[in-house]
Amino acid sequence: MSERVTAVLRRLAELLGSTGRTTGIGRSVLRLQDLLEARLSIEDAGMALAEVLEGQARLLMPLEAGRAHRVREPSFTLAGLDSSSRHLETPPADIVVGTVSATFWRGLGFDWPSLGGGRLWLRGLPYIYILPNDPDLAGRLEVNFATTVNPAGRPFDPDYSVHQALDEMRVSLENWALKTLAGEDLRPHALLLDGPVFLVARAVFDQVAVKYRDSWRALLQDRLDSVRLLEDKGVAVVGVVKRVERSRLLSVAAGIEALLSRCGLRVGAIGDRALIDAALRLGCFKWRPGSILRSPKLRVRLGEGLEKIVEYVVVPLGGFNLSPATARVYRLEYTQRTLSILKSRGLEPVHVFLADSVARDSLEPVTIASSDRRSSSITRALRRMLASTLRAWGVPISYSSMVEVAEDWREALAGS
């Protein structure tokens, strides 16, 4: 049986408490690598190439739930996946804790780590990153389910960005969960991910911040392997991206010119959300109440032979209210193989999205929202538990971290 979380946190606090309160020089508040936004996707950085894969008459076309009911048949199983990470700052080290959660339509799914009576594994990925402020401490901070190295195996040094570590934690846990789901007897037929199906970060092509580049390359390869493993088992994997304001794919995609010109729009480096809002205001669609709107499919080339398919969906606030101010805009992402898996069932990725959102009277996929709530609540609890344990062992916590922990307690009490 896996070691209990409380024992892991107690051991970590004991080791940090034994280092002395003045150990370390403190972590820099602002570093050049942070300004480079190493995790920024190349879609948001304007570095991706896109082309229209399947044409349509207008930039946005209506689509009713239709075949989404086939996704909800008893013979079809759907799951959602999301992760969370949080940070505590102490003099000896910065500590990052993370959680990943999967939610099925039927049943609770699983969490890693689990704080309740959920499933426990004999082995699981580290859910604690320790970023020591003194490199000599690394060898003295050996704790189960904790690590002092990044996903590429490079030690966290005193200049390592906590923001990068938070991102790396989430992606690494998600990759582990994907592989875990692929090995389950009761695998879902389709899996919705909160975020890109795979992320090609700008750091992948960075020749300066090598430690971040190697980490994101390792995470990318692990994600590609994890998705392929699921697809080998017949599982369709669809990423649901909520933050589309910065991406620039629609307006620069090859073959999009005619659709834009019909709306009085033109090709240019305009953000995708801004372009869709403009199309909504200009009425560049034939909307039917009770339907959503979808863009044409785009093939996105990401360099080094990588590509994925994306499409945008617009979900109105209500069946008779289509306003740019209230509509939700998502980008669905998937591989050609996932598209083929769903087409063999007479489905499209958008039908999976609709079945878990609009068909369930929700503006967003319910399984993802549930996984988000669970993973967020667990990381808040982990941070509260860790803060209390550290203080019991005489380890001071920074003021900003204590403010965040106090907010965690307020949210916990408000929800109890």
- Residue in 280, 279, 256 with CA at minimum distance from that of residue 268: 256
Backbone torsions φ then ψ of 414, nearest 5 degrees: -65, -30
Q: What is the token pair recorded at 185?
A: 């007897």
Task: Please give the Cα distance from 173 to 11 (Å, whole number).
Answer: 22
Backbone torsions φ then ψ of 160, nearest 5 degrees: -70, 135
Of the pLDDT bands very low, low, confident and very high (cuts 50, 70, 90), residue 35 is very low
Strand partners, 149: 155
> 123-137: buried (b, 16+ CB within 10 Å) or exposed (e) per residue?
ebbbbbbbbbbbeeb
Per-residue pLDDT reduced to its tens digit, 288-321: 777 899 999 999 999 888 999 999 999 988 766 6
- The mean per-residue pLDDT over the stretch 101-115 comes to 86
Per-residue pLDDT reduced to its tens digit, 235-283: 999 999 999 988 889 888 999 998 888 888 887 778 899 999 998 888 8
In the predicted structure, residue 223 carries a pLDDT above the cut 60: yes
Residues 6+ apart with CB under 8 A from 117: none
Strand partners, 299: 51, 309
Q: What is the pTM of this model?
A: 0.92
